[in-house]
Amino acid sequence: DIQLTQSPSFLSASVGESVTITCRASQGINNYLAWYQQKPGKAPKLLVYGASTLQSGVPSRFSGTGSGTEFTLTITSLQPEDFATYFCQQVNSYPPFTFGPGTTVDIK
Amino acid sequence: EVQLVESGGGLVQPGGSLRLSCAASGFTFSGYDMNWVRQAPGKGLEWVSFISSTGRTTYYTESVKGRFIISRDNAKNSLFLQMNSLRVEDTAVYYCARAYTSNWQPDAFDFWGQGTVVTVSS
């Protein structure tokens, strides 16, 4: 099975800052990587698929890059509504459809 | 508007059974692969099971194989998860999630329900 790691696990940032979250796969997954945002008590929301394609309706301050084993999600100019937990997911080799452990973005 | 509404969760003793349902609306249900994903309290997301649009292909995470059965009724726009021999470690919020697929390959889970809580405890 493919394993995903995320770094950092937790980050503290201020409104207006830019942040980058990294997701690494234990083996190459081409660009079959998705990113989700989850707020407490809510279902996950798809942000990015295909490593870099923004889901319809997602603000352009979110962007994804990467291929192979290393991927990043960048949020430029953090907004108050962006404070949440972010998960990556690989859909290249399944089953299983593996999720990363998550990165919590908190308000500094 | 795409909607997925789960139901059927509750409190059950270890070894017991539950059947989760997910009612879909706002899209052509029979055209989409579907999934169940769970989240234990304070933990991350764990994919549980997948079913193809026709129901012919199913997959399970290793820990539920032989205990859980995924199924669907395309005539009733419904997805199900029959959970047997439940364990304490199955305690979680269970989400149904639609697979967005292009070129015969799932790309992501693009719509999720609000989740239903399953608690396994004596």
% of chain B with per-residue pLDDT over 90: 95
Q: Do the beta carbons of residue B40 and residue B48 sit within 8 Å?
A: no
Of B45, B46, B108, the CB nearest to A46: B108
Q: What is the pLDDT of residues B89-119, one digit of tens each?
A: 999 999 999 999 987 888 999 999 999 999 9
Query: In the predicted model, is pLDDT for residue B6 greater than 90?
Result: yes
Query: What local confidence, expressed as pLDDT, does residue A57 receive?
Result: 97
3-state secondary structure at position A4:
strand
Q: Do A96 and B47 touch (CB under 8 A)?
A: yes
Within 10 Å of residue A92's Cβ, how many Cβ atoms?
17
Report the candidate in A6, A31, A34 with the shortest Cα–Cα distance to residue A20: A6
Q: Which residues of A touch B45 (CB under 8 A)?
A: 36, 38, 44, 87, 89, 99, 102
Query: What local confidence, expressed as pLDDT, does residue A6 receive?
Result: 98
Q: What is the pLDDT of residues B34-62, one digit of tens each?
A: 999 999 999 999 999 999 999 999 999 99
Query: What local confidence, expressed as pLDDT, does residue A108 receive?
Result: 86
Tell me the two tokens of residue A37.
Answer: 């945002």
Q: Which residues of B touch A38 (CB under 8 A)?
A: 45
Q: Do B60 and A97 touch (CB under 8 A)?
A: no
Distance CA A104, CA A95 (A): 26
Q: CA of A76 to nearest chain B CA: how many angstroms apart?
A: 23
Query: What local confidence, expressed as pLDDT, does residue B105 receive?
Result: 83
Query: What local confidence, expressed as pLDDT, does residue B104 receive?
Result: 80
Q: Would you call B100 an interface residue with chain A, using a CB distance cutoff of 8 Å?
A: yes
Strands A45-49 and A33-38: antiparallel
Query: What local confidence, expressed as pLDDT, does residue A79 receive?
Result: 96
Query: What local confidence, expressed as pLDDT, does residue B103 receive?
Result: 77
Q: Which residues of B touch A95 (CB under 8 A)?
A: 47, 50, 59-61
Query: What local confidence, expressed as pLDDT, does residue A58 receive?
Result: 98
Of A45, A46, A99, the CB nearest to B47: A99
Q: What is the pLDDT of residues A74-95, one digit of tens each?
A: 999 999 999 999 999 999 999 9
Substitution target in B32, B38, B47, B70 with the highest count of A β-carbons within 10 Å is: B47
Nearest-5° Cα angle at B96, A56 to B75:
95
Query: What local confidence, expressed as pLDDT, does residue A82 receive?
Result: 96
3-state secondary structure B61-121: CHHHCCCEEEEEEHHHCEEEEEECCCCHHHCEEEEEEEEEEECCEEEEEEEECCCEEEEEC
Low-confidence ranges of chain A (pLDDT < 50): none
